[in-house]
Amino acid sequence: MLYKKLSTNTEKALNEQVELEAASSQYYLAMASWADVQGYNGIAQFLFRHSDEERIHMLKLLTFINDRGGFGVVPALKQPPLEFKNIHDIFEQVLKHEILVSTEINKLVDLCLQEKDYTTHTFLQWYVNEQIEEEKMASKILDKLKLIGEDKGGLYIFDRDMGALRTEDQH
């Protein structure tokens, strides 16, 4: 073996992050489905794309674990919520969830520093930067929704614009 294998602690923590990223994908998928049946087609399309992005984050982690001599575990997932109050509530939950993910990524970075695993630390910097963008995206969307308030015309335009918006465009 030419490289240092992941420690047991790091492998376990990375697999927990795999589960969180997979659950994030499912959570956004549930939001997308709800928005779709409520008639918010643009928001649904945005959330479907965001769900796909989270799945890619999960796959990137899983592959890294395997490449570093560990075993990336495909997790069993709990069913996400099926109902949401409204679009404002959805994006408040998105922001809250992204803050949670950021907290967990930061814990992983801290673990890598404690274990002097600089390879994994370097790999995780992409996630640190990605989470800054994810939180910023959710926050900007909430700002727009606050401007719109209860104006149905504004929400109609917002829905249309969200359908055309790529998740990475918001970053």
Give the annotated binding-site residues for Fe cation. Answer: 21, 54, 57, 98, 131
Would you say 156 and 145 are in contact if contact means Cβ atoms under 8 Å apart? no
108 closest CA partner among 11, 25, 19: 11
- Burial level of 106, CB count in 10 A (0-12/13-18/19+)? middle
Residues belonging to the binding site are 21, 54, 57, 98, 131
28 closest CA partner among 156, 141, 153: 141
Radius of gyration from C-alpha coordinates of the chain: 18
- Distance from CA of residue 120 to its chain's centroid? 19
The C-alpha atoms of residue 106 and residue 120 are separated, in whole angstroms, by 12
